[in-house]
Structure 1
Amino acid sequence: MMFDLPKDDVLYQALLTRDSAYDGRAYVGVTSTGIFCRLTCPARKPKPENCRFFETVSECMEAGFRPCKRCHPVKTAAQSDPTVQVLLAKLDKDLSRRWTEDDIQRLNLDPSTVRRAFKRSFGITFLEMARLTRLRSGFETLATGGRVIDAQLDAGFASPSAFRAAFGKLLGQAPGRFSGEPVLKADWIETPLGSMIVVSDKSAIHLLEFADRKALPRELKALAKMCHGKLGFGRNAPVDLLEAQLQAFFAGTCADFTVPLALHGGEFAKKVWGELRNIPAGETRSYGQLAKSIGQPTASRAVARANGANQIALVIPCHRVIGADGSLTGYGGGLWRKQQLIELEAKYARLGVSS
């Protein structure tokens, strides 16, 4: 983008005055509603502390916001392209549909043309937009009392064989080359925020990560090296306990994880991870606050590195760490997931659910 966003106070004033000069060049995400809008939206204006400003539609969606049904920020950006309009209309009719390039071809559309059109209009492909929409829809189903199974709309692995193939690709070897007598076993768990890969032994969880985390291949290779290649497929007893506790967490009934963990890191990192687990659900800390709480107030950067090195997501809640100014900071699972987790845990705080 050639347009550099001004400061938030300037954008907030533009929102209040519905300044058309920013139409299509800036969007506002409202944290209290989970909706993003054009700055010219006629809806009631949010408080400034509930506003996050973005340059593109894709940034809004990746941060977990859904488009406003009053100002239609997605449709407005697509008005000049009939192909985009057709697909957006299809997406609106079935938010839970898992789209593929074959589906696009069946509409007599060229996937590469569609890809370019959506990238040009939104900075994101149609398949990426459909996936984010599906995940958000599933999360909202669960948040409003739907069954967990109804919310699992983004099953990344349709079968054990599909999981084995994907896992093998992550590690760069064929599924048949994995150990038949493994020390560590790999499996997957479906959640409303997407598939998670879990690695365990008979007594503890060694890894829990979202399947699309960029650092995952490196983490898996380190575990394979640690167990001298005795990494295979399957599920140990701790995974059953973990899955039950994750279901309770996403259902909003309990934020307490008691599953045993095997931590791979130095003493400093383990100290940081232990302190992360002391942050109650519904609360957040800055890196500086976390450094002070472990008695090393000048170690903010080291704390940030330890936070990023955590490979047991959710159970060790690194998503509860934000910037000193209250902004979301980097999260290996994606900022949009971090936003969703913080919103979910805010409900824990309001309801007084244990953590």
Structure 2
Amino acid sequence: TKDCGGDNTLVGYCPQQDCLFDFLTPYEHLRLFFDLRETVTAAPPLSIAAQKNSPVSMPCIASCTERMESALTHYISRESRIRHFLVRMIDEMQMSKHIHCINVIEKLSGGNKRRLNGLIALLSTQVWLLDEPSAGLDPIGRRKYWNLISRLRDSNPRHSNIEENDHIVTFPNSLPTLVLATHHMEEVEAICTRVMIIDKNLSKSPAENSNVLADGPLVAVKEQLGAGYEVVMRLDDKTGDISDTLDRSSLLRVLTNALLGNDGMDEQKSIHDLVIPLENRIGLYKVKVRTVEYSIPLSRLFTVMMQLVSASPTLIDFSINQSSLESTFMDLNLHK
């Protein structure tokens, strides 16, 4: 970044390498970074009545003791709300038993260190720069971190109806912006609204800026990459031999012809372009259907599959799912 002007306290960064202080507990880490970022607050904005009751807005109090008591009460209330918010973040990431753990570098596991770094990046910031934030986390830990990101991003009291006791971080101007660098496509689908896929092998010259494979909203990116639907067929393979009980190539050809109809297209080309085998094992056959490229509606795919189930004694049932971003990306690279 050439221009580093502006308020950098609003930027939260989670690097690939964990950056922690060994002499601080997880709670002290969060409190330290919370106090360093002074431009935001850990509670909804004070109402007009609350502002009038603030010790700095009460010139009518004659007694110095009363002013001190009022200021102390205000401080204790604020501290309670801050602690409630920080403890809640730690609880959501399943780190409650480590909240006061000292010597975190030696005693915390790699996954818990990653959790703590991820929390620090989200704390009281408006721009989140996350570099592989869920690397090393178990599936439950990843999902909880994604849910926390979504809650903090989408539950701004200035833009939604939130109860006053929810104690969410507020942002002065707008909702936070997330910039995520990751190789996990599931993570992208869980928390991102816009996706850019970069392939370094696309650019033939270092001066060219042509290595962007796809860019746009998630659905648009899937369409750019040729996404479709994945059909999982459950088969009656009693003998345990894939080739004996069902000719999978024949099933592929029948499915392709039924979807395309009599349009005069080259049959061999259509089989490889429209329906692509993904998984082939005993009792299961999984294929991908490129409905977007061939403008085939989902209703037609369901109709054809129902007809195949009725006509084939070995095809028991099926399921249809939209292709994931990871599956689409893998298919694109395998067929380059």
TM-score by length of 1: 0.24
Structure scoring higher RCO (CA < 8 A, sep ≥ 6) equals: 2
Larger-Rg structure: 2
TM-score by length of 2: 0.25
